[in-house]
Amino acid sequence: MDTEIKINQHFIGGEWVDAEGGATFEDINPLDDSLYAYAARGTGGDMRRAIAAAKSAFPEFRESTPTERERMLLRIAELMEDRQRDLVDCLIDEIGSPVQKALFEFNKGLTMVRAAAGICRNVRGETIPSDRPGTFSMSVREPLGVVAVITPFNVPLIKTTRLVTNALAVGNTVVHLPSEMAPHLSLIFAEITAAAGVPAGAYNVVTGMGADIGDELTGSRDVDFVTFTGSTVVGQHINEICAKNKTPNTLELGGKSPTIVLADTDLAKTMPLAARSVFMFAGQACIASSRFYVERPIYDEFVKRFSMIVGKLGMGDLRDPSTVIAPVISPRQRARIKSHIADAVAKGATVVAGGEWEGNRCQPTLLTGVSENMTVCRTETFGPVTSIYPIDSYEEGLEKANDSEYGLSSAIFTNDIDKAFHFARNTGAGMCHINGPTIHDEAHIPFGGNGESGVGREGTDADMEAMTKLKWVTVQL
C-alpha cells in the first residue's frame, strides 16, 4: 500500500483543479478511521464550472462516431486492467472492501465498460408507417446532453463504470458527484478515461459533500438527465427537484429484500447462498436480503445451520481472500446498526448469532422473534443484520415478502416450479431470483426497484433508452 497521503483535486474540463477557495475534506479509511486521502471540498461554483464544461463539450462529443466511442470505452477497459492494483487497493483502503469483494467489483466493473461499448452501435430508431401518401417516417434516437451521475459509497466502481460509460456510449457528457466516502476511486477512473481519449469536458468529477453541492447539480437547468443511486431519503429530495425542472431521472434507492425458503428446498445448497445474500460487504448492499421467511418444518434447522455458517465468516485482514466481513463505513452507519439491534433486543427479539463488534466491524448478526414494532422489521439497516421469520405456507411468505414499502430484489428457494413462478409473477420487487441469492447484477439486465426502492431501470438497454430521446422525422417524397 502507498503510504503517502494523497491530496486530490476535482477533474473539470480535462484539468485537475482545486476546489474554489482551496478547501479539502478528509477521506477516511473505515477499517481504523485513519486518514486515507484529502479530497477537494467542492462548492456550488465548482459544480457550475463542471456543468459548463460538460455543456460546452457536448456539441462536439455528440458528433463522435460509434467507432470512436467504442474505441474509447474498450480502451478504458484495457487501462482499468493495467490499473487493477490501484483500483483494488482503493476499494480496500478507501471504503473497507475485503479483497474478494474488491476483485468481484473490479471484474464486474470491467463487464460494465465492455457492455457499454456494445451500446455505441445500437443507438437506433425505427421506420414508421405513415398514413400520409409519399411520406417516409422515422424515429431518431439522440443523446440528451449533460448527464448528472451521483453514486453511493458501497459499490462505487460498479456504479461509476455502469452509469458513466452508458451515458458516454450514447453521446452524452457527464458530471459525476461521487460519494464523499469514495472520492478517490472516481478520480482514478477519471485518469483512466482521460488516458483512454475521452475528450476534455466529456467526463467531469466534482468531489465534496452531497448535501452542500448536490442541489446545484440536480437543480441545474443545464443538466438534462439525473441518475442517482443512494438512500431513499436523498432520492426523494432529488425526485422533487427534478420534477420542478422536468428533468428525467432514474433513482436506485434502498431495499429491504425478502427471501422465502420453502420446506422442500435442499438446505445444503441453500445455506451458502443465503449467507451470500446478506453478508457480502457486511450487508452494505441495497439488494442484501434482510428478511428470511422460512417454512416451519425446516425453520429450526435453517436457523441452526445459518448460525453455524455466519459464525465462520472471515473477519480477518481485508487482504486475506477468506475475509468476508467488512468494516461499517461511518460512525453514523455504525450507530444506526447498533440502534437497530438494541431496539430489537429491547423489544424481545433474540440474537441467535453475532451482535457484537470487533473494532468497526459488526459480527454477522441473525435475529429471530422480530415483530412489527421493531425498527429492524421494516427499515433498511444497511449492515450485516438479517431477521428470520417462520411461515406456515408459501402464501403467507408471499404476503409477508410483499408487505414492505421497498421493492428491490427478492428470492425464493424451492423445488416447486409452480410456486417459484407464482412468486416471480407476484413479487412486488423489481428483481426476482429463483434458487439464487438476492445479490445478483449483470451489465445488460434491467436493474432496479419499485416503490421506495426507486424509479426506472439501469443496464445497457434501459440506460440507452433512458439517456436518449426519440425524435420523429418525416420526409415528404
List residues binding ligand NAD (CB under 6 A): 150-155, 177-180, 210-211, 214-215, 218, 229-231, 234, 237-238, 252-255, 286, 380, 382, 408, 449, 454
Grid cell at residue 199: 475528450
H/E stretch holding 17 reads: strand 15-17
Q: Which of 70, 94, 216, 252 is catalytic?
A: 252
Find how far residue 176's CA is from the centre of its chain: 14
Grid cell at residue 127: 421506420
H/E stretch holding 141 reads: strand 135-143
Q: Is 31 or 391 the residue whose CB approaches ligand NAD more closely? A: 31
Q: Is 196 or 429 the residue whose CB approaches ligand NAD more closely? A: 429
Q: How far is the CB of 158 from ligand NAD (least distance, A)?
A: 8
Closest by alpha carbon to 176, among 152, 141, 155?
Answer: 152
Q: How far is the CB of 405 from ligand NAD (least distance, A)?
A: 13
Q: Is 366 or 408 the residue whose CB approaches ligand NAD more closely? A: 408
What distance in Å separates the CA atoms of residue 196 and residue 189, rounded to the nearest whole number? 10
- DSSP, residue by residue, 114-130: HHHHHHGGG---EEE--
Number of H helices, E strands in the chain: 15, 25
Which string of b and e fits 187-211 if b means at least 16 CB within 10 Å?
A: bbbbebbbebebbebbbbbbbbebe
Q: How far is the CB of 408 from ligand NAD (least distance, A)?
A: 6
Considering only the C-alpha atoms of the chain, give the largest distance between any 2 of them, rounded to a whole number of Å: 77
Q: Is 70 or 380 the residue whose CB approaches ligand NAD more closely? A: 380
252 is known as an active-site residue: yes
Sign of CA dihedral 409, 412, 417, 421: negative
Instruction: For Cα atoms 396, 397, 403, give the angle at the middle one, nearest 5 degrees.
Output: 90
Question: Roughly what angle, to the nearest 10 degrees, separates helices 210-218 and 44-62?
Answer: 40
Q: Is 153 or 413 the residue whose CB approaches ligand NAD more closely? A: 153
Grid cell at residue 354: 453475532
| C-alpha torsion angle, residues 257, 401, 365, 268 (rounded to 10) | -90
Grid cell at residue 410: 427478492
Q: Is 168 or 213 the residue whose CB approaches ligand NAD more closely? A: 213
Q: State the amino acid at position 217 in one-letter form.
A: L
Q: Is 285 or 309 the residue whose CB approaches ligand NAD more closely? A: 285
Q: How far is the CB of 456 from ligand NAD (least distance, A)?
A: 11
Q: Is 61 or 203 the residue whose CB approaches ligand NAD more closely? A: 203
What distance in Å separates the CA atoms of residue 172 and residue 271, rounded to the nearest whole number? 44
Residues in CB range of 104: below 8 A, 6 or more apart: none
Q: Is 303 or 462 the residue whose CB approaches ligand NAD more closely? A: 462
Q: How far is the CB of 223 from ligand NAD (least distance, A)?
A: 11
Q: Which of 90, 242, 286, 377 is catalytic?
A: 286
Strand arrangement of the beta sheet that strand 34-40 belongs to:
6-7, 34-40, 24-29
Q: How far is the CB of 477 from ligand NAD (least distance, A)?
A: 47
What distance in Å separates the CA atoms of residue 165 and residue 69, rounded to the nearest whole number? 10
Question: Roughly what angle, to the nearest 10 degrees, separates helices 156-169 and 183-195?
Answer: 40
Backbone angles phi, psi at 445, to 5 degrees: -95, 160
H/E stretch holding 323 reads: none
Q: How far is the CB of 329 from ligand NAD (least distance, A)?
A: 7
Looking at residue 114, the DSSP 8-state letter turns out to be H
Residues taking part in catalysis: 252, 286
